Structure 1
């Protein structure tokens, strides 16, 4: 019953610990999602702004995990201290038992010696009295009936005392053996408890050190978080200037594409009418496909391609407004090859402000609408304006030029001059 009572609070503590761990994990997961969203939002930021945002995201993602690790270390420390107290109590009990058994053995030895002395005394008395305590000797030596009774009673008393002393001596020997066995067991248990106590002290010291390390880390993380937030607050003017430049560059590209589309449409309208029915027309090759509905091949050297940030609205991590992430980010590394995803004409291969080094590919009319794509932030070009390329031809190498936080491919698709989500066209 004592064991069951002792274990009952531990079970409740374990449930509480599990709940706290689950809650902490949920907080850590939420922080990680926020960090990923922040990381996706750094497209269009300069390297120093992007680094500050990434630093803040990393700090905020790590903080919940460090706090949970601190709680775990504190729980382990408390558990080790409770176990150490329990072991110490058991050690005190075992030591008291050992001392009590040792005292019993000492008392037993003293009594053993007293009994042996008494037996010796009886033997000496019998010897001095003639040595014959038998019934015949009592009868023959008696001078009268009273003398006989006296002698008989004395002989019976001496024999009974001798028998009792011999039995007590045997009992004392048995008790001594039992006590010695118990003493050996208790002594061994004391050794085990001392080792267990030392192990709990080591565990407590380790948990205490881990808790101190996590406490220091949390203090450093909070300080870093405040410092980075202050640094980002001081960079708002820079972020606003960059935002304006991004919008200006995008407007310029879209205006230029609109002019190109208009020129293509004028050229198409000036072409001769199509051949009469029955005339032989060259068969158009089917579009490349790497997935359901895909018309583009993988433009990167990473296979399978990996999307690190999708098309859609993003919260600006510094200015706090939503903006369109007008393409998708594909994983590449610095100076890795980039390819034409479809047969095209190179509309241009040049530096385009915040886009960095950009290759714009013109696919003409696809499914009845003008279609183009841009590969941005390249380190260098492998094609030039006006060049014809086939699907899979090398067009350049990935990089981090323009407003970009790290080497990657920012891939955009324009249909009728406006951006669309490239993912379905890539089979994603």
Structure 2
């Protein structure tokens, strides 16, 4: 359990550093919000697309191999960016290509670490609900340390030094997964003649091919109305978070004179509060009424962040709102994890989580792109107000759907191997958006 959590912490910390360094590098060298959004799009579009289709591959090859190999690719691509810039060979097309490679590698890598959590919990004899809470705390910790370190490094040494640090984090995460995990952990899924989904094996008892595996995950999700509703809602909020973290906050920091250090400070404050919320949620998860806590968390974590920047509030007011938003966001992922634990068989983790996560993240590439164009056309404040209103309506109107009543109808403990659902990172940068990410989210 410690090995998976440590690798997750290191890799996500590097991602959060990059989430500040990359957009600031583009803004500093081009002064263009539109190009900043374009870079975010070129990272997150391959992330989502590749992640959606690699579930069967992760199940077949094994999450351990996928995790360390893709982290190594991400490290190499991230390191090439400052090296080419130092030589004067880094044009925008080449930067977009490298960012796309990082995103394409990160998708399967993040998925692989995620689906090793239940196995790690079994080996450590930790209840799944607690493991989800601890994983959430780890993600929030990365979202605290990463932006703080990233903001400081960018402010003191420049964004390219921060990208070198990002590459080092990916390389260390790869080493931990490849070397430090227990022997035999993270192996490929073994098929038997008995399977949870019809068609899981063919008539000869042999494991199915790629598209049959892919279809299993799709068929399972189609039969889970609550999970589908969660995925759509989280997908819409992820789009708004990507716009916020990838473009709106960096533009606000530049226009207000705060610079990258303020981006790191606001993210760190929100993430520290989210750690507190996650710890409380993990402790009281079995006793929580999920639906009211879930939507209260979204109410705190969403619209206020947009509006406080639009109103031109002083820094102390911004930090206070980010703290409250982070606390509310800390309750979201433990609830989402508990729901999925009751529904997803472990044998289907790769396929179901790949499709669910990719769908929930599908709007993230468009978030940065749309935000960059909107700011260029209408200015920052109107876009912030519109984003806050959209966030409020999305989370509140979604709560009227009848499927949400299933949140508090626990099925008991899942069959061995429930998995984790698409998660999000409200109030912190969405992972990798040039973010959240931001997650979660």
What TM bracket, shorter-length normalisation? under 0.3
TM-score, length-normalised on structure 1? 0.19
The higher-RCO structure (CA 8 Å, 6+ apart) is 2
TM-score, length-normalised on structure 2? 0.18
**Comparing both structures, which one devotes a greater share of its residues to helix?**
2
**Comparing both structures, which one devotes a greater share of its residues to strand?**
1
Work out which of the two has the higher radius of gyration on C-alpha atoms and give 1 or 2.
1
